[in-house]
Amino acid sequence: MEAISVAVRRGGSVESRHRVHAVAVRDGDVIAAAGDPWLVTVFRSSAKPLQALPLARSREDLDSVDLAIASASHQAEPGQLDAVRALLAKAPATEDDLECGFDEGRPRKRVHHNCSGKHAGFLALCRAKAWESEGYRLPEHPVQLAVLAEVAAATVSDPSQIPTAIDGCGVVTFALPLERMALGFSRLPRLDGAHRVLEAMQAHPELVGGDGALDTDLMRALPGWTAKRGGEGLLCAVAPEGIGIALKAEDGNPRPLRPALARFITFLGQDLPPGFSYIEVVNSRGEKVGEVSAE
C-alpha cells in the first residue's frame, strides 16, 4: 500500500499534500503497512514510555501522576507543572537541577520545558541508583546508557548499531526503522515494569500531552490504548491486545497525523471520532475556509 496522502484544501482546491508512512506490528509480525515500514527516522519523544522504564522499576514510591509526567511532552498547563514539581520534590531535586534548557515561547524556566517531566524522572532515577546527577543528559552517563539498553531490548536491536543523536531537550535520542518502533510499542505490555507506565499514561492522558494534543486525544477516544507523539511528525501507540503502531509524516509536519491515523486505524478494525479524520482550516476571523483530510 502506498503512503497515506493527506490533502489540505482551501475553497475546494488542493493547496498542499503530505505523505504519511505507517506500520502496525503484532507478535513480531507486520500486520498492516502504508508506505515504507522500514523508513528510518528518529524516535524523539515517542520513546518516553521506554525511557521511563528504569525509573518505574527503581522507584516504587512513585505514583501514577509521577510516571505519567515522566513520560510526557507537556504543554506547561497548570496541572502538568504541578506534577513536574511534585516529581522533583520526590526525587528529591530542584528546578535548578534540570538540564533541559528552555522552551521557546514559554516562560524562561526549565520546569516549563515540555520535557521537564522526563528530566525530573531522570533525576529521581539518579537518586535511586546513587548516581551523580550532574550531566545525566550526556551519552556516557549511566542514565543514558540504561535508556539505550532499554530501547535496544524493546526494539530487539543491537545497541551498538543504533545511531544516536541529541534531542531538543539535550538527552540522547535514537534512529530506528518505523517497524522497530512499532515492535517496541507492541512489546511494551510484556516488559518488566511497563505496566506501571502504561497504566499511568492511560489514567492521566491530560498529563502526557494536554489540551488538543494528539496522544491525549487518542487515549481518550480509545480507552486502553497508550500513545506518545514525537517531534517532526511522529506518533507511536499500542493497543490493549498488543498491536504496536508507528506513523511518520515524511515532511515532519504533524498536521496530517490525525487524518492519517484515522485512515490507517480502520485497517486494524478501529474507528476514531470525526475530529480525527477531518480537520477544519480556519482563518483569522474564525471562518472555515478549508479542510485537512486523507485522500
Predicted local confidence at residue 138, as pLDDT: 98
Within 8 A by CB and 6+ apart from 186, the residues are 25, 26, 27, 28, 238, 242, 243, 244
**CATH value at residue 270:** 3.40.710
Per-residue pLDDT of the chain (295 residues; tens, 9 = 90+): 899 999 999 998 999 999 999 999 999 999 999 999 999 999 999 999 999 999 999 999 999 999 999 999 999 999 999 999 999 999 999 999 999 999 999 999 999 999 999 999 999 999 999 999 999 999 999 999 999 999 999 999 999 999 999 999 999 999 999 999 999 999 999 999 999 999 999 999 999 999 999 999 999 999 999 999 999 999 999 999 999 999 999 999 999 999 999 999 999 999 999 999 999 999 999 999 999 999 9
Predicted local confidence at residue 192, as pLDDT: 96
Cis preceding-peptide flag for 92 (omega within 30 of 0): yes
Q: Which domain holds residue 149?
A: 4-294
In a 3-state reduction of DSSP, which class is residue 218?
helix
CA gap 152, 288 in Å, rounded: 45
Predicted local confidence at residue 154, as pLDDT: 98
For residue 240 the three cell numbers come to: 490493549
Predicted local confidence at residue 4, as pLDDT: 98
State the pTM of this model. 0.97
Predicted local confidence at residue 241, as pLDDT: 95
Specify the number of domains making up the chain: 1
CA distances from 214 to 160, 170, 234, 264 (A): 32, 24, 10, 15
Which of 259, 261, 256, 258 lies closest to 245, judged by CA? 261
Predicted local confidence at residue 45, as pLDDT: 98
Rounded to the nearest 5 degrees, what angle is found at the Cα of 150, between the Cα atoms of 262 and 257?
A: 15
